[in-house]
Amino acid sequence: MAASKGTLPAVSLQVGERSIELATIRASQGNHGIVVAPLMKETGLVALDTGYLNTAPCTSEITFIDGDAGILRYRGYPIEQLAEKSTFLEVAMLLIKGELPSAHDLEAFETRIDKHMYLSDDFRQIFSVMPRRAHPMATLGAAINMMAGFYPESLDPLDPSAVSLATVLLLAKMPTIISYIYRRAQGNALLYPKHGQSYIENFARMTFQLPGERFEAPEAFYRALDTLLILHADHEQNCSTSSVRMIGSAQANLYMSVSGGVSALSGPLHGGANESVLNMLQYIRDTDIEPKKFMEKVKDRSSNIRLMGFGHRVYKSYDPRAAIVKEQADAVLAALGVKDELLDIAHEVEQVALSDDYFIERRLYPNVDFYTGIIYRAMGFPASMFTPLFALGRLPGWIAQWREMIRDPAAKIGRPRQIYVGHPEREYVPLDQRP
């Protein structure tokens, strides 16, 4: 059903002899909805929707995606305009508060964030107990959980001032945490944030500054990093955001909920894809396999190989974020004076895929992760840090969605049903009588 104007058509469901009327709900844009919650009470049937292909667990005012037209908007603003004109913290305010901030409010917010980037020495100890080889996402999830222990005054999910504090603390401390994870892996001493440096400058310096040296990067470096964070800032009900909402629906605090989002994001089918893309491109380079031959492997179902960075649950045309990143990749590499043959391989792989019937028929296009890794690599980040960078970008979205859920009077604890297909009741068999 896709009525755009007027009243929505009535929806009825025929169950045997009975006809059940289902209420509908109008979207301001995109797909309207059918309310299926009373279905079980009315009919004894539950809706099966593995992978939530057609289930909206909430209404939301935050992000709009039209996957067929390749449109992404935060609070109504096109991603292309935000990527070009805004900063990451400005976009964070837009997502979390609902409106673009005034210059005064933005400055006050930046000052508040700046004040809280510091991590106490007790907190810094946790990085030394994690093994250097630990995957950064494991440490990141643990560190965010630890925040619940360090800042007890910001835990109450129903107290707006506690939520406001948790919001600021998460946004402020996450860059410091991520830079420490990197420095720990490198065996370098942890640095302190500096007041007066911008959010992105502080993050880059704390990450890359070598002992006894100054860290300097061209403006293009900071701008590209800021833009990549903006592009990742929200993506409506994706796997990690749904996890954050689900955990928060039990009124778990914001830190515990966001840490669940980090766990979901670590998966190679979600945030881990940017790391996998780079590994894939390196494999193609190191084995000297022709992109066309590699594509034959991808299409061979028995190989279980996917073209990483391609395909999306929602976008069935070019991911608008991928278009921005692709455009930036050449420019950023040139500004940084980096020549990377992986970028040439990526262009070639994309060309082969976009003209191959397998990808055309399934409407598989590059997603945001296809080119991001190449930019991060040019900046000096190892592949294992790509997903933490994604998490930093996605943080405002997780927070905004969690806050929307907590305030929603219709929200309930997330508790899906199932269709049980296991054994009916059977007698217990003692251990010595089992085959």
**For binding to ligand ACO (CB under 6 A), which residues are involved?**
269-271, 273, 298, 306-313, 362, 364, 367-369
What residue number has its CB nearest to ligand ACO?
Answer: 311
> What residues contact residue 75 under an 8 Å CB cut-off, 6+ apart?
61, 62, 63, 94, 95, 98, 99
Taking the least distance from each CB to ligand ACO, the nearer of 33 and 271 is: 271
Q: Which of 318, 315, 328 is nearest to 371 (CA)?
A: 328
Minimum distance from CB of 273 to ligand ACO (Å)? 3
Q: What is the DSSP letter of 10?
A: P
Q: 3-state class of 383 per DSSP?
A: helix
Taking the least distance from each CB to ligand ACO, the nearer of 157 and 271 is: 271
For the question of residue 312 being annotated catalytic, the response is: yes
Residue with tokens 């630890």: 146
Q: What is the DSSP letter of 409?
A: T
Minimum distance from CB of 286 to ligand ACO (Å)? 20
Which one is catalytic: 121, 312, 319, 330? 312
Minimum distance from CB of 289 to ligand ACO (Å)? 16
* Residue 242 one-letter amino acid: S
Minimum distance from CB of 396 to ligand ACO (Å)? 15
Minimum distance from CB of 240 to ligand ACO (Å)? 8
Can you tell me the distance from the alpha carbon of 250 to that of 416, in angstroms, rounded to the nearest whole number?
A: 13
Residue 7: both structure tokens together: 């009243």
Residue with tokens 């929707």: 49
Which one is catalytic: 226, 234, 319, 369? 369
Can you tell me the distance from the alpha carbon of 205 to that of 184, in angstroms, rounded to the nearest whole number?
A: 15
Q: 3-state class of 29 per DSSP?
A: coil
Contact at 8 Å (CB) between 51 and 38?
no
Q: 3-state class of 297 per DSSP?
A: helix
Taking the least distance from each CB to ligand ACO, the nearer of 217 and 298 is: 298
Q: Residue 25 forms beta bridges with which residues?
A: 33
Taking the least distance from each CB to ligand ACO, the nearer of 85 and 362 is: 362
Taking the least distance from each CB to ligand ACO, the nearer of 157 and 261 is: 261
Q: Which residues are catalytic?
A: 312, 369
